[in-house]
Structure 1
Amino acid sequence: MANILRRPVLLLTVAAVLFSTAPVSNSIPFILFHDKCSGGVSNFTQLLSNLSGSPGSCLEIGNGEIDTWFMPLMHQANEACEKVKMMKELSQGYNIVAQSQGNLVARGLIEFCDDAPPVINYVSLGGPHAGIAAIPKCSSGPICAIAEDLMKLEIYNDFVQDHIAPSGYVKIPGEMTKYLDHSKYLPKLNNERPDQRNSTFKNRFMSLHNLVLVMFQNDTTLVPKETSWFGYYTDDGFDSLLSTQQTKLYIEDWIGLKALDDVGKVKYVSVSGDHLMIAYNDVVKYVVPYLMA
Structure 2
Amino acid sequence: MCRLIIILLLLLILIVGYLWWKPTAGGSNSEVLPVLLWHGMGDTCCLPFSLGAFMELIVAQTKGTYVRSVEIGGNMVMDWESGFFIHPNEQVDYVCKQLLADEKMAKGYNAIGFSQGGQFLRAVAQRCPQPPMRTLITFGGQHQGVFGLPSCPTLSVEACAYISRLLTSAAYATAVQEQLVQATYWHDPLMENNYRRGSTFLADINNELYLNVFYTENLNKLKKFVMVKFLNDTVVQPKDSQWFEFYTSGQDKVIQPLKDSKVYENLGLNKMQRDGKLVFLGVEGDHLSISKAWFIQNIVPLLLEK
- Shorter-chain TM-score range: 0.7 to 0.9
Q: Which residue of 2 aligns with 1:172?
A: 188
Which deviates more from structure 2 when the two are superposed, residues 156-165 or residues 126-135?
126-135
Q: Does 1:227 align with 2:241?
A: yes
Q: Which has the higher helix share?
A: 2
Provide the aligned C-alpha RMSD in A.
2.2
CA distance in 2, matches of 1:172, 1:135: 12
Going from structure 1 to structure 2, the CA distance change for 1:288 and 1:128 (only over 3 Å counts) comes to: same
Q: Which residue of 1 aligns with 2:45?
A: 37
CA distance in 1, matches of 2:249, 2:160: 30
Cα drift, residue 289 of structure 1: 1.2
Q: Does 1:58 align with 2:69?
A: yes
Q: TM-score, normalization: structure 1?
A: 0.85
Give the partner amino acid of 1:33: W
CA distance in 2, matches of 1:48, 1:145: 32
Q: Which has the higher contact order (CA 8 A, sep 6+)?
A: 1
Tell me which of 271, 274, 278 is aligned to 2:286.
Answer: 274
Q: Which residue of 1 aligns with 2:227?
A: 213
Going from structure 1 to structure 2, the CA distance change for 1:22 and 1:151 (only over 3 Å counts) comes to: closer
Going from structure 1 to structure 2, the CA distance change for 1:150 and 1:241 (only over 3 Å counts) comes to: closer
Q: Which residue of 2 aligns with 1:47?
A: 57
Give the partner amino acid of 2:96: C
Cα drift, residue 26 of structure 1: 2.4
Give the partner amino acid of 1:256: G
Cα drift, residue 239 of structure 1: 2.8
Q: Does 1:286 align with 2:304?
A: no
Cα drift, residue 153 of structure 1: 4.8
Q: What percent identity do the matched residue pairs reach? A: 26
The runs of 5 or more residues in structure 2 that have no matched partner are 1-25
Q: Does 1:182 align with 2:198?
A: yes
Cα drift, residue 25 of structure 1: 4.8
CA distance in 1, matches of 2:221, 2:140: 22
Q: Which residue of 2 aligns with 1:265?
A: 277
- Output aligned runs, 1:85-96, within 5 Å: 85-96=100-111
CA distance in 2, matches of 1:240, 1:152: 20
CA distance in 2, matches of 1:79, 1:174: 33
Q: TM-score, normalization: structure 2?
A: 0.82
Tell me which of 151, 156, 181 is aligned to 2:172.
Answer: 156
The runs of 5 or more residues in structure 1 that have no matched partner are 1-20
Cα drift, residue 219 of structure 1: 0.6
Cα drift, residue 176 of structure 1: 0.4
Cα drift, residue 147 of structure 1: 6.3
Going from structure 1 to structure 2, the CA distance change for 1:216 and 1:182 (only over 3 Å counts) comes to: same
Cα drift, residue 143 of structure 1: 10
**Count of aligned residue pairs for this structure pair:** 268
Partner SS, residue 67 of structure 1: helix
Q: After superposition, give the CA deviation of every residue in 1:133-156 in whole Å (9 maximum; x if it has no partner).
A: 114745225994796365465011
Cα drift, residue 241 of structure 1: 0.7
